[in-house]
Structure 1
Amino acid sequence: MQLQSNKQAGFKAMESGYRAGYEQGLRDGACEAILRHVQPPAQSISDVRVLYVPQGFESIDQGIIEALRSFVRELHVADAKHMAEQAALLRPDCMLVLNGLHVFPSNHLDQVQAVRALGIRTVIWFADDPYVTGDTVRIAPHYDVVLTHELSTVNVYRELGCAQVHYMPLAVHPGWFAPKRVEAKYRSDVCFIGQAFWNRVEMFDAIASYLQGRRVFIAGGLWDRMSNYRLLKSFIRLGWLPVEESINYYNGARIVINLHRTTTAGMDNNNALNLDGRSINPRTYEISACGTLQLTDPREDLPLYYKPGFELETFTTAIELRDKIDYYLSHEEERRAIALRGLRRTLQDHTYASRVRQLAVALGWQ
């Protein structure tokens, strides 16, 4: 009897392994076909010299830098501590600053004024809106041009007297976020990577019992403040996760959840104006670029970039999230088809090469 039971368990394991390998092969082949088929359009070089000042958001900065290198005549990258010195030395046509927060020096705005005094056009691209409006409303008026990925802050900057304000969404660096085969240790049914802001804590507390029966991976800080932390503790990796590992976990997951952070003032952010979050985060593009099904809470501008139910999926409540996880884990072909369509859309329209073309139009480089 024991021998028969062991044989049955062995057959089940073989069947499961075969099925997983077959599904992986289908995904790999389909992703490769999309990557070969979707080619970036040919582009002419804009006759401008740009000084770029990174924020320290590794994947965003590198995506923008590589896109700019292929688009402008000359690109230089400067540390925020020395941007005025570098601008005076290089005399670029434009200084483009990402975000201007967190790691920027206390004399940041003095440096910007010094650059403007040289007749060099200064541009800032805010990537943390609307969560830090307590800081950005002070910074924005010091720049000639303000770019923001957040719809809710566009009019705020205009009302402050900023002469040029453009809604400029973020994107993905496809040289980093891309489909790849990963080791078994990165595989999961459900994955979430990000800080445990209170709205995320509430959502995962609500579905903790359900997730116990799945292969789950959660990473980020503060997850131990969940009420149901003990139920998911074995699935949680506390602390910061390097970008390269995030990419591996996105690729190894059958479903990746993307839940935007709360915008309520005082709740883990400095949204002094208490603005609503109306625009999608960069994680939306990054997950889809890995060819994985994404379940995301909707933002107002989401339909401008992806078709919900066709290129990714959405949820608004914990019950809906649980039900959609359940559905797509048992409907493999639908799950894979949506993920592949999301990958195709991302490569066609939402790389930093595409955004830099939009930026060039906004700034009159073309």
Structure 2
Amino acid sequence: MNAEASAAGFASGYESGLRDGACEYLVRHLQPPAPLKRDSRVLYIPQGFEGIDQGIIEALRLTVREVYVADATRMAEQAALIRPDWVLVLNGLHVFPANHLQQVDTVRSLGIRTAIWFADDPYVTAETMYIAPRYDVVLTHELSTMQMYRERGCTKVVYMPLGVDHNRFKPMAVEEKYRSDVCFIGQAFWNRVEIFDALVPYLKTRKVFIAGGLWERMKRFKEMERFIRLGWLPVEETVKHYNGARVVINLHRTTEAGKDNKNVLNLPGRSINPRTYEILACGTMQLTDQREDLPHYFVPGLELDTYANTVELRNKLEFYLTHEEERRTMALRGLRRTLNDHSYLRRLQQIGEVLGW
């Protein structure tokens, strides 16, 4: 028994060392050069998305001459004081004050250009359809909402995918307590509950980590309770669990109107979520459900893999958990692609070109 445990520990340590060393090499050798700063002054209004806002702020500081950050409640006040060239707002939802749109009108009346970057599309069309027309430029990561914004009177609508903050989501060595065969972190929306309930017989045979709210909705919650951490998981912990997982599942939430969302227009989900980038930025193998624009950003079957239904997900989990070299190689390809193409620095350079900073 001791010999078997020792051999298993050695094998696990050997595989972890291979992965950590390869990730470190890629991170060191794929650092992009600092771009020339554009001669613009930008006031940024964060949404409060910890995994996104800081990445955008740090990228802005490398992209433009002057960057200011203000709370949404003081947007108009700070814009009048600073007189930036542009006010860039992330999302404009949830924590934004009741007078948000009146503040936008005030900013525009000062001759200051405004842009909003929607990160929750298409799940909140009940609100964004009224917010978007008040801005000069609308950026959205979701293909399906673009025509809707144009029909609402928005004169400039730009498809702008999200990205990843490589200072937060990155490869790292982690303690044993963060290691798992299969990991999923996110809210238990009903489509996720259905799939994970169906996977219970397989997942019970593996070391699993699931985190997020509402997982009590599962019919077979009691059978999986020991694997589930209920409630919000801090970003720092999320990164460690991604790094410790052999496979991370990505499952986009349902867009069906009334099912855990405010997508009153029932627009489809065509674009990938930020989790797609964040998982791969940790140097971890990802299995994701399919979205139309995924092949524009990653090569399925090479840099990550996809599944169309629960049976295919279960079969691919088994394959990658029993084929270590294939799993590790795919994870490293995904990391390389993410480092090269999907940083917030790259996105802010694209935004700067679009907005003419």
Q: Does the alignment reach a TM-score above 0.5? A: yes
Residue 276 (structure 2) aligns with: 284
| Contact preservation (8 Å) 2:243, 2:283 | yes
1:101 aligns with 2:119: no
SS in 2 for 1:70: helix
- Structure 2 CA distance, aligned partners of 1:272 and 1:48? 38
1:23 aligns with 2:8: no
- Structure 2 CA distance, aligned partners of 1:302 and 1:59? 21
Give the unaligned 5+ runs of structure 1: 1-8
Task: Within 5 Å, give how 1:19-168 maps onto structure 2.
Answer: 19-168=11-160
> In the TM superposition, what is the alpha-carbon distance from 1:183 to its structure 2 partner?
0.7
- Structure 1 CA distance, aligned partners of 2:139 and 2:54? 18
Q: CA deviation digits over 1:83-107, x for unaligned, max 9?
A: 0000000000000000000000000
| Contact preservation (8 Å) 1:209, 1:231 | no
1:173 aligns with 2:165: yes
- Structure 2 CA distance, aligned partners of 1:156 and 1:214? 44
1:361 aligns with 2:346: no
Stretches of 4+ aligned residues off by more than 3 angstroms: none
> In the TM superposition, what is the alpha-carbon distance from 1:43 to its structure 2 partner?
1.3
Match of 1:216 among 208, 211, 221: 208
Give the unaligned 5+ runs of structure 2: none
> In the TM superposition, what is the alpha-carbon distance from 1:41 to its structure 2 partner?
3.2
Residue 244 (structure 1) aligns with: 236
| Contact preservation (8 Å) 2:186, 2:213 | yes
Residue 5 (structure 1) aligns with: none
| Contact preservation (8 Å) 2:90, 2:119 | yes
- Structure 2 CA distance, aligned partners of 1:364 and 1:108? 25
| Contact preservation (8 Å) 2:34, 2:62 | no
Q: CA deviation digits over 1:170-225, x for unaligned, max 9?
A: 00000000000001000000000000000000000001111000000000001011
Q: CA deviation digits over 1:109-147, x for unaligned, max 9?
A: 000000000000010000000000000001000000000
Residue 295 (structure 1) aligns with: 287
Give, as a single letter, the amino acid of the residue that structure 2 aligns with 1:358. Answer: Q
Residue 6 (structure 1) aligns with: none
1:352 aligns with 2:348: no
> In the TM superposition, what is the alpha-carbon distance from 1:356 to its structure 2 partner?
0.5
- Structure 2 CA distance, aligned partners of 1:39 and 1:221? 36
> In the TM superposition, what is the alpha-carbon distance from 1:316 to its structure 2 partner?
1.1
Between the two proteins, what is the percent identity of the paired residues?
A: 68
Give, as a single letter, the amino acid of the residue that structure 2 aligns with 1:303. Answer: P
Give, as a single letter, the amino acid of the residue that structure 1 aligns with 2:193. Answer: V
> In the TM superposition, what is the alpha-carbon distance from 1:38 to its structure 2 partner?
0.6
Question: For the aligned residues, what is the CA RMSD?
Answer: 0.5
SS in 1 for 2:25: helix
- Structure 1 CA distance, aligned partners of 2:214 and 2:82? 44
- Structure 2 CA distance, aligned partners of 1:34 and 1:130? 34
Once the two structures are overlaid, the 10-residue window that deviates more, 101-110 or 32-41, is 32-41
SS in 2 for 1:169: coil
| Contact preservation (8 Å) 1:171, 1:351 | yes
Give, as a single letter, the amino acid of the residue that structure 2 aligns with 1:231. Answer: E
- TM-score (normalised: structure 1): 0.97
Q: CA deviation digits over 1:324-361, x for unaligned, max 9?
A: 00000000000000000000000000000010111011
> In the TM superposition, what is the alpha-carbon distance from 1:304 to its structure 2 partner?
0.4
SS in 1 for 2:116: strand
1:267 aligns with 2:253: no
> In the TM superposition, what is the alpha-carbon distance from 1:42 to its structure 2 partner?
3.8
- Structure 2 CA distance, aligned partners of 1:278 and 1:199? 16
- Structure 1 CA distance, aligned partners of 2:70 and 2:24? 36
> In the TM superposition, what is the alpha-carbon distance from 1:364 to its structure 2 partner?
1.4
- Structure 1 CA distance, aligned partners of 2:47 and 2:34? 29
| Contact preservation (8 Å) 2:35, 2:63 | yes
